[in-house]
């Protein structure tokens, strides 16, 4: 198994839950953020990097303008978005329901509930 290296510290990135971010080049628009900053980052490296803000804006732009998600909540660290459509018929039953509601039904924390209409974009 070949591990990706963090563009910031050049060390391998272990894909540990919540401890890395994949900054995909599909989010680059008109050369911003710089392609050299795309890749697998350690969450700690990204949080302390000048790349964090441009990547936050790029991902938010993609979800809002390309995928038609709408912002439903924001904290200093996160922006939560959702979209009022689903692509898989089996997910129709989830339309109109909150992530908290679905998590409670499944007996899991809201951050562990996979919701096809919700995305959370981190600022770093
Ligand atoms: Zn790193």
What separation in Å is there between the alpha carbon of 59 and the centre of ligand 1? 20
3-state secondary structure at position 108: coil
What's the Cα-to-Cα distance from 61 to each of 1, 2, 67, rounded to whole Å?
A: 33, 31, 9
What separation in Å is there between the alpha carbon of 52 and the centre of ligand 1? 13
What pLDDT shows up at residue 102? 65
What separation in Å is there between the alpha carbon of 70 and the centre of ligand 1? 31
Q: Model confidence over 22-56: pLDDT tens digits?
A: 999 999 999 999 999 999 999 999 988 999 999 99
What pLDDT shows up at residue 70? 83
What separation in Å is there between the alpha carbon of 99 and the centre of ligand 1? 31
What's the Cα-to-Cα distance from 111 to each of 33, 43, 100, 108, rounded to whole Å?
A: 27, 17, 9, 8
What separation in Å is there between the alpha carbon of 113 and the centre of ligand 1? 28
Of the two residues 60 and 117, the one the predictor is more confident about is 60
CB 82 within 8 A of CB 72: yes
Q: Where are the domains of the chain?
A: 1-50, 67-124
What pLDDT shows up at residue 90? 75
What separation in Å is there between the alpha carbon of 53 and the centre of ligand 1? 16
What separation in Å is there between the alpha carbon of 38 and the centre of ligand 1? 12
What pLDDT shows up at residue 2? 84
Find the mean pLDDT for residues 82-100. Answer: 69
What separation in Å is there between the alpha carbon of 48 and the centre of ligand 1? 10
What pLDDT shows up at residue 64? 87
Q: Model confidence over 58-82: pLDDT tens digits?
A: 999 988 888 888 888 888 777 777 7
């Amino acid at each position: 198994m070949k591990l990706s290296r963090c563009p910031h510290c050049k060390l391998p990135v272990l894909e540990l839950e919540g401890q890395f971010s994949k900054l995909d080049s599909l989010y680059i628009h008109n050369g911003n953020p710089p392609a050299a900053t795309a890749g697998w980052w350690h969450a700690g490296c990204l949080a302390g990097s000048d790349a964090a803000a441009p990547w936050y804006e790029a991902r938010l732009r993609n979800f809002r303008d390309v995928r038609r998600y709408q912002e439903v909540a924001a904290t200093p660290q996160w922006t939560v978005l959702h979209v009022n459509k689903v692509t898989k018929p089996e997910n129709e039953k989830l339309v109109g329901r909150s992530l908290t509601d679905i998590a409670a039904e499944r007996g899991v924390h809201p951050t562990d509930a996979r919701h096809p209409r919700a995305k959370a974009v981190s600022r770093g």
